[in-house]
Amino acid sequence: ENLVDVGQSIKGNIRLSLSRIREGIKALDDEEVFASFQLANLSMLIQMSHFDVNETEGGPFKLDKAHSLENISYLENHKFNWYPFQLAYFLLVLSSLVDEGHEYRETVDLIWFQTGGGKTEAYFFVSAFEMIYRRVKDGKKGLGTAIINRYTYRFLTTDQFTRTAGLICALERIRRRNPTGSRWADKLTSVPFTLGLWVGGDVTPNKLKNDSDKENIDRSANGRIKTMKDTIGTEYFINFFQIESCPSCATRLFPETDERDDNNEIKEALWGFRLKGRNFHVVCPSHDCLFHGPDQGTDLPLLMVDESIYQDPPTFLIGTIDKFANLAWQQASGKLIGQDTKTLPPSLIIQDELHLISGSLGTLAAIYESAVDTVISQNGQKKPKYIAATATIRN
């Protein structure tokens, strides 16, 4: 008898999920929703194609050794397909994402699947759609930080930063190059899609420059770049910017050893981290890459210094819970949740590795979660949609 009750409960949940998936399919009848769906698919295809080429060729690469990606015909690449659960998850979430008044808007939709099974790609797909849809639907008002991806541990954050960077580069390729000639891609505005890494000062710099205090100089972006150049090739070397190679073509952003020219000067062309005045740039050293910077007119769309993140809020923000304490002390950080801007606040919040917020960590996270929800929902704004992912959770 108990098993019958359990079975009926499971069947009820399946029917509910199926009805929401069917509702998601119907939502694609809207022209703007379907166009965003198509462009999100394209961005995922570009990201997967580049990752596959770079892995096959054996990246990361030394300068001028990377595979040229500019002639890939993405739509002829039939190597990649969605797993059914990934597409089903997207369709299940879709209606509550595009309709702020939907009955499941405040439901946390969890994707629970085995490690290495494709959870990240599933919520990347949802994320790509939301970043595109905001611009297609709301134009310049849809700029600003659209998505916050929260982590409990810093080492998980920096690992995911590299993977997410590939998606952001794919979105930028669509925005700048429009490889299919879509009229909807022209609605993505002239403002780049960007990715921000918002973690503690031990991991990434908080300031661009600080010339008044020795300790702060060493912990600022210019100090960290100098330290990396001074220690490259030694056991003391630390990458303070948490990314090793270009997320698009996989060219190394810094050499493996201390490489100098005939005048014993550091070969600056091998270094992708550059500070000019008050502007921090991450550029791909390869001249063949879309993100070469000086020649192509664009940097890699990555922000790793707090000061830069506050100045130009990233489209997609990856952060740890502890950084959200800054919202109470650092006024400029309010821009990340739509304060003092003319843009919409974040509309999608992702809690990856959901099982890690159990116990005391979950209690702490809940305080900030409630505060962020309250601030975002001020001035008549709707609360963001929450999604979550884990491989190891029960009950």
Tens digits of residue pLDDT in 91-107: 999 999 999 999 999 99
Cα distance between residue 112 and residue 110, in whole Å = 6
User: Is pLDDT above 80 for 214?
Assistant: no
Residue 69: HSE in the Cβ half-sphere, 13 Å Cα cutoff = 29
Cα distance between residue 152 and residue 343, in whole Å = 28
| Range with the poorest average pLDDT among 145-149, 265-269, 293-297 | 293-297
User: Is pLDDT above 70 for 380?
Assistant: no
Q: What is the pLDDT of residues 20-68, one digit of tens each?
A: 999 999 999 999 999 999 999 999 999 999 998 888 888 799 998 998 8
User: Is pLDDT above 80 for 356?
Assistant: no
One-character DSSP codes across 55-91: HHHTSSB-TT-SPP-TT--GGG--S----HHHHHHHH
The string over 46-68, giving b where at least 16 C-beta atoms fall within 10 Å of a residue's C-beta and e elsewhere, is bbbbbbebbeeeebbbebeebbe
User: Is pLDDT above 90 for 328?
Assistant: no
Q: What is the pLDDT of residues 152-204, one digit of tens each?
A: 666 556 668 888 999 999 999 999 999 888 999 999 999 999 999 998 777 78
pLDDT score recorded for residue 371: 80
pLDDT score recorded for residue 317: 95
pLDDT score recorded for residue 176: 93
pLDDT score recorded for residue 252: 95
Tally of residues, the chain: 395
Higher pLDDT, 210 or 51: 51
Mean predicted confidence (pLDDT) in 118-136:
96
